[in-house]
């Protein structure tokens, strides 16, 4: 498969290893040249021969080659094909594998290969373990360390486990993994400005006006865009660290207020090929924030409010730049979203409802500008899938503008 993109799939010892056969098959169908490395415990669940027959490549199982492989790359299973990989996927990623990867260990061919990857290689992991293990502080700390190092997490999902319990910890389904890993680098060289998260408008030294946004939608957009080759400036209001898109091609610019978000957006908008307005900006702010903490008795009569800046309206645009907005509506939703599409000069707008902030999935509709505007009802999908569809729209628009 000369010229194909190379992916190395690291299989570790969990019952979900049987699903990786389908994952590899799907990745091959998507155009990847797939190689497989396995830990010894993974071979207790699926035989190496299965993956060898599927990929037509030897399966890496041991740190040292056997006596029949004594020349060239075969001598260095921990280096080849790892040093030539465009992507590296660990699935299932067990608690033990995640710990070893986070610690930078090289005690098996999977973890050793992870250390030999080239700088531009995209790294993914699909956790799979008992819900109690997934919820443990040690596992969550190791997951954060991987994400901070630029690894992209896929799942886990909710559902029934092999041991009979239900909960979060089930490995993502093969089609989800294919969607996350199997995307082409069709945004290579593009520059995106993404506004994300809530803003906080201070009342006094300890209180503020804000909303329930977690920043999850913006995070999924930034991770999907960077995985597809884009460089992203990510201007975000205050969110928890897990909602930050840690990736080498994502520059995170933290802000607090709407005014600060507008200022930072203006610094970067001229260089952006597209701007995505995914932030949940507070609609009003106190006219004057108290220096200290206001007494409770004074709160009701001490707060005069004024509108916050309309970032989408005030942010300049340039010819050829695409702008995608979001509208959270509850009544006359389509009417309000269509009006916002026109007034904010958006190329498209994503409509969602009040149950969306903080949720992993939501009901989405998509409205593309035109005569007349074209509605697409996406239904209830994950925010990761919503992000993928938004970026697919950008790719289609840029393709149509070239023709």
- Which residue in the list 91, 121, 163, 386 is annotated as catalytic? 163
User: 365 forms bridges with which residues in the sheet?
Assistant: 351, 377
Task: Say whether 163 is catalytic.
Answer: yes
- Matching residue, tokens 């628009």: 397
The token pair that represents 113 in the structure block? 């290969």
Instruction: Respond yes or no on whether the N-terminal peptide bond of residue 362 is cis (omega within 30° of 0).
Output: no
Q: 260: closest CA among 210, 321, 314, 199?
A: 199
User: What is the DSSP track for 291-304?
Assistant: SSPPPHHHHHHH--
- Matching residue, tokens 């707008």: 349
Cα diameter, the chain: 84
The token pair that represents 232 in the structure block? 């992203």
Query: Do residues 238 and 198 touch, judged by C-beta distance below 8 A?
Result: yes
Residues in the chain: 403
User: 11 forms bridges with which residues in the sheet?
Assistant: 38
Query: Do residues 229 and 391 touch, judged by C-beta distance below 8 A?
Result: no
DSSP SS3 for 271: helix
Residues carrying an active site annotation: 163
């Amino acid at each position: 498969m000369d010229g194909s993109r190379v992916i190395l799939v690291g299989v570790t010892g969990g019952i979900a290893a049987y699903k990786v056969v389908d994952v590899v098959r799907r990745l091959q169908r998507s155009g990847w040249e797939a190689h497989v490395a396995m830990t010894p415990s993974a071979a207790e669940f699926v035989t190496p021969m299965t993956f060898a027959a599927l990929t037509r490549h030897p399966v890496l199982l041991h740190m040292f080659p056997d006596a029949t492989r004594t020349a060239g790359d075969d001598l260095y299973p921990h280096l080849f094909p790892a040093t030539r990989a465009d992507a590296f996927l660990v699935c299932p990623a067990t608690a033990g594998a995640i710990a070893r990867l986070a610690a930078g260990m090289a005690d098996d061919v999977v973890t050793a290969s992870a250390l030999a990857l080239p700088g531009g290689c995209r790294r993914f992991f699909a956790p799979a373990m008992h819900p109690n293990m997934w919820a443990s502080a040690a596992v969550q700390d190791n997951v954060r360390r991987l994400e901070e190092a630029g690894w992209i997490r896929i799942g886990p999902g909710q559902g029934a486990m092999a041991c009979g319990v239900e909960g979060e910890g089930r490995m993502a389904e093969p089609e989800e993994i294919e969607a996350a890993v199997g995307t082409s680098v069709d945004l290579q060289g593009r520059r995106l400005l993404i506004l994300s998260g809530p803003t906080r408008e201070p009342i006094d030294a300890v209180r503020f006006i804000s909303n329930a946004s977690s920043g999850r939608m913006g995070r999924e957009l930034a991770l999907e865009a960077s995985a597809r080759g884009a460089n992203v400036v990510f201007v975000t209001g205050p969110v928890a660290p897990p909602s930050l898109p840690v990736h080498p091609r994502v520059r995170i610019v933290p802000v607090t207020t709407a005014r600060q978000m507008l200022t930072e957006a203006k610094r970067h908008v001229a260089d952006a090929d597209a701007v995505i307005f995914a932030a949940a900006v507070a609609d009003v702010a106190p006219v004057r924030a108290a220096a200290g903490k206001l007494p409770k008795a004074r709160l009701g009569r001490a707060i005069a409010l004024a509108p916050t800046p309309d970032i989408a309206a005030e942010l300049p645009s340039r010819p050829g730049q695409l702008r995608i907005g979001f509208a959270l509506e509850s009544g006359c939703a389509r009417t309000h979203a269509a009006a916002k599409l026109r007034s904010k000069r958006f190329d498209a707008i994503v409509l969602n409802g009040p149950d969306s902030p903080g949720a992993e999935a939501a009901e989405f509709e998509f409205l593309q500008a035109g005569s007349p505007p074209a509605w697409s009802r996406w239904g209830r999908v994950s925010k990761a899938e919503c992000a993928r569809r938004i970026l697919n729209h950008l790719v289609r628009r840029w393709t149509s503008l070239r023709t």
